[in-house]
Amino acid sequence: AQSVTQLDSQVPVFEEAPVELRCNYSSSVSVYLFWYVQYPNQGLQLLLKYLSGSTLVKGINGFEAEFNKSQTSFHLRKPSVHISDTAEYFCAVSEMRGGKLIFGQGTELSVKP
């Protein structure tokens, strides 16, 4: 069975500082990996995804993530955060393209001035 663990429930950071949100997954088969962002009382917006190919994936809003198969990780990074990046971030895994997503517990990123 698949599972996703987001190691940090809350990450406070100052504006313009770098940030890394950690995600580890467990699966017995090859997976597709995703990071989503959720602003209060809204749905989810896709930040980036790993389907195959290059393990370094670049997404929207300056975010990137690296797929590490040996460590079963897919950590999200941004070199310099903005106040507007304050939101909840979810890592998700799927065993099929277009298949159901299993979400991690979420990480609340709080960017302070």
Partner 1 sequence: GAVVSQHPSWVICKSGTSVKIECRSLDFQATTMFWYRQFPKQSLMLMATSNEGSKATYEQGVEKDKFLINHASLTLSTLTVTSAHPEDSSFYICSATGQVNYEQYFGPGTRLTVT
- How does strand 107-112 pair with strand 102-103? unpaired
Site string for partner 1, 31-50 (x = CB under 8 A): -----x----xxxxxx--x-
CB 80 to partner 1: min, Å: 26
CB 16 to partner 1: min, Å: 27
CB 112 to partner 1: min, Å: 20
Choose between 13 and 44: whose C-beta lies nearer to partner 1: 44
Give the C-alpha distances (Å, rounded to integers) separating 61 from 3, 37, 43. 27, 11, 17
Backbone angles phi, psi at 61, to 5 degrees: 60, 25
87 part of the interface to partner 1, by CB under 8 A? no
89 part of the interface to partner 1, by CB under 8 A? no
Choose between 70 and 97: whose C-beta lies nearer to partner 1: 97
90 part of the interface to partner 1, by CB under 8 A? yes
Choose between 30 and 41: whose C-beta lies nearer to partner 1: 41
Sign of the Cα pseudo-torsion (75, 91, 37, 95, in order): positive
Backbone angles phi, psi at 62, to 5 degrees: 80, 5
Q: Is the distance from CB of 20 to CB of 14 less than 8 angstroms?
A: no
